[in-house]
Amino acid sequence: EAAVTQSPRNKVAVTGGKVTLSCNQTNNHNNMYWYRQDTGHGLRLIHYSYGAGSTEKGDIPDGYKASRPSQENFSLILELATPSQTSVYFCASGDPNYAEQFFGPGTRLTVL
């Protein structure tokens, strides 16, 4: 049974629109992460969280917000989507005492 799930799996949005990507984990991990994956860049960290109510900026946070309302859920929010945000987005959860992260299946976002 999948421990990290993401929704939607595919999304087409219009420039200037608001997009919310959702992530749910059943690992009971304190830490959660959002990455984007682009050809030529690998995975890059956008935002992460240490627990409910906490969000921290990663390496490329501009244009993104994050929300962690509970231990299980972590959302990535694009208030004004741009074509440059077209990418595959991965969510992960991890135990703070151990660096391993467990990844969801990814969300493919296309901004037209």
Q: Which residues in this chain contact other proteins in the complex, by CB under 8 A?
A: 4, 30-31, 40-45, 48, 50, 58-59, 90, 92, 94, 96-106, 108
Q: How far is the CB of 43 from other proteins (least distance, A)?
A: 4
Alpha-carbon gap, residue 74 to 90, rounded angstroms: 11
Evaluate whether 50 touches 32 at the Cβ level (below 8 Å).
no
CB closer to other proteins out of 3 and 77: 3
3-state secondary structure (DSSP) of residue 85: helix
CB closer to other proteins out of 2 and 112: 2
Q: How far is the CB of 18 from other proteins (least distance, A)?
A: 25
Cross-strand pairs, 94? 31, 101
CB closer to other proteins out of 1 and 97: 97
Q: How far is the CB of 79 from other proteins (least distance, A)?
A: 25
3-state secondary structure (DSSP) of residue 36: strand
| 65, two tokens | 């917000």
